[in-house]
Structure 1
Amino acid sequence: MNASIPAPIVETDVAVIGAGPVGLFTVFQCGMLGLSCTVIDALPDIGGQCTAVYPEKPIYDIPGFPRVEAASLIAALEQQAAPFAPLYLLGQQVVRVSGTVHTGFDLETEKGNKIKAKAIIIAAGAGAFGPNRPPLEGIESYEGTSVFYMVRRRDDFAGKRIVIAGGGDSAVDWALSLAPIAARVMVVHRRDNFRAAPESVMRMQAMADAGEIDLVVPYQLKALDGVGAHLRHVTVATMDGTEKVLEADVLLPFFGLAASLGPIADWGLAVDRHHIPVEPSTAATSVPGIYAVGDVATYPQKLKLILTGFAEVAQAAHAIYRQTHPGQDLHMEYSTTKGVPGLA
């Protein structure tokens, strides 16, 4: 038997935990200071909640963009980070961290990847998160083929009979978006009232009145039936036991994300109600050499905005430069005069 070859250790200046918008901007800010980054995220794609929850949702408070869809913002941030050649380790969590600011930090992911870093920036948004899976027997066998917890490419669902379960913005927004291209869209919700934006709910109701969407209310998911990994029927039921069988090719359960700090909670950091307290001027946590930015970071009067996270990243990057280059002066330079490596 051949012994397995251990994965090589990735050496980097900064290990970035989280590939959402703030994590991606971290690569740019660190790169402008000559610091390399390795980015780790539990989700299989970059973008965090912008990709997983609302890729087609417009955002209005990003400076310079009167309106930008979340997916477009992520694409632009990825392009902005590209000149600095970040390494992305996706679909995996960091499960172990050891070391100190003096010796450097050793990180290991659940897939066995090992990273040696001089500093860590936690940009984990609301924390490590995954979908709230409905308690349906055998649902795992359909996941990735007929059951999806996020929509990455709208066109993948063209011509499909789609059951959307949930009553929030994701359910309503995707019902509106997919109805024009799907064979049929059926929205299952346990009550008549939806928790989504009122204008969106009114649009969905108008489409239902016109026969363009089926509102299956008040029902909830009960069972799935299919052949192999391919779904054929979704059974729904009311609270009094009345059942209905819906012919379906796809189930999209939108019951939100289960967020927690995950393994980060065991790193010895000070934690306050699932958030990490930081020093606002540097984004430093209670552990020297580890920084936190974005929604996971907290301090008095913190504003949970993407643009706030962008500013925190700049503070953290400069703090890390001072940490990793002791005794060297850092002269502040603007990107307009310094330029970006590889760009004209």
Structure 2
Amino acid sequence: MASGHTHQTDVVIVGAGPVGLFAVFECGMVRLRCHVIDVLDDAGGQCTALYPEKPIYDIPGFPRIEAAELVVRLKAQAAAFRPVYHLGEQVQGLEKLSGGFWKVTTSKGTVVQARAVIIAAGVGAFGPNRPPLPGIEAYEGKSVFYYVTQREAFRGKRVVIAGGGDTAVDWALSLAEIAGRVSVIHRRDKFRAAPESEAQLKALAKSGKLDLVVPYQLHGLEGAAGQLTAVTVATLDGDARRIEADALLPFFGLSMSLGPIADWQLELQHNQIAVDASTTATSKPGIFAIGDVVTYPGKLKLILTGFAEAAIAARSAYALIHPETPLHFEYSTTSGLPTA
């Protein structure tokens, strides 16, 4: 989609992650046209950027589905309603116009005017929390990786994983099947992962299929021209160890920010957008928000919950845009897909 143009539509969806993509479908079901804006170069949000090969187990109807496959299916489902995507563009400006329109401006000069805006920005702008190791920048993207996008890239390699949360433990379990050796570095013996996963990790360590290096923290890197040869670790008492390594995966969580959305004067609670759960309406009429970016009493941060919120937001947007034409609720099995 060419940037720098002016467009007019029914709804602007900010964020092309799974929840934003499903919002396209739900808007289409009530005959609302959508433009979708995302700062990433491809649709899918974290599912595409952070863990495309990671299985998801709580999508209804799919006992197991990889994140990338879920995105492919959601895009195909949304395609029936011909959404217009503006990818690789960050939403910046938001301005109220006459006639009930909102004007959304992107970092590339694209302007979209719409009667409603649905924010589906997930965790907002995100990036990794980098360990404070001298010279780590030289290895990033070559032998130090903050995300795993291709599991096979680590086949036969000596992999050091640092961290104690679900991401670290899940990838340790997965890569132990194909890597030459997996070493897990954590500052204490207790992990923050799901109890079942932690039990599997410790069972693999006990059987000698991976190494648990606790209680240690990352201390330094060895290598040349961006290729690691070893990682040094140390305890708080100064006891040091050297671990030969081809790759380091530091999993210390994400640094998250709402970015320019934080300046839109929406009511926020703990850096999340406060909404009315019954409508997904924010504190500004015509602006709705769904998915992990929102908070309300009882909110569950699940893709499943975001899908339900997308259905509510689409119908709330319809009521705003077509107040004179009440929406007659129908199940999709009865209505089928709307025709143009």
Same fold (TM over 0.5): yes
For residues 157 and 192 of structure 2, what CA distance do their matches in structure 1 show? 26
- Normalised by the length of structure 2, the TM-score is 0.86
Q: Contact 2:51–2:67 (CA<8 Å) still a contact in 1?
A: no
**Percent identity between the two aligned chains:** 59
Give the superposition deviation at 1:253.
Answer: 0.9
Matches within 5 A, 1:1-344: 7-43=4-40, 45-51=42-48, 52=50, 56-60=54-58, 62-90=59-87, 92-100=89-97, 102=99, 104-110=101-107, 112-118=108-114, 119-340=116-337
Give the superposition deviation at 1:182.
Answer: 1.3
Structure 2 gaps of 5+ residues are none
Instruction: Summarize the Cα distance change of 1:231–1:319 in structure 2 as closer, same or farther, 3 Å threshold.
Output: same
For residues 180 and 230 of structure 1, what CA distance do their matches in structure 2 show? 23
- Normalised by the length of structure 1, the TM-score is 0.85
Instruction: Summarize the Cα distance change of 1:294–1:240 in structure 2 as closer, same or farther, 3 Å threshold.
Output: same
Aligned partner letter, 1:40: I
Instruction: Summarize the Cα distance change of 1:170–1:299 in structure 2 as closer, same or farther, 3 Å threshold.
Output: closer
Instruction: Summarize the Cα distance change of 1:46–1:234 in structure 2 as closer, same or farther, 3 Å threshold.
Output: farther
- Alignment RMSD (CA, Å): 2.8
For residues 88 and 226 of structure 1, what CA distance do their matches in structure 2 show? 42
Instruction: Summarize the Cα distance change of 1:139–1:120 in structure 2 as closer, same or farther, 3 Å threshold.
Output: farther
Structure 1 gaps of 5+ residues are none
Give the superposition deviation at 1:285.
Answer: 1.1
Give the superposition deviation at 1:315.
Answer: 1.9
The number of residue pairs the alignment matches comes to: 336
Instruction: Summarize the Cα distance change of 1:202–1:322 in structure 2 as closer, same or farther, 3 Å threshold.
Output: closer
Give the superposition deviation at 1:280.
Answer: 2.9
Instruction: Summarize the Cα distance change of 1:55–1:87 in structure 2 as closer, same or farther, 3 Å threshold.
Output: farther
Give the superposition deviation at 1:292.
Answer: 0.8
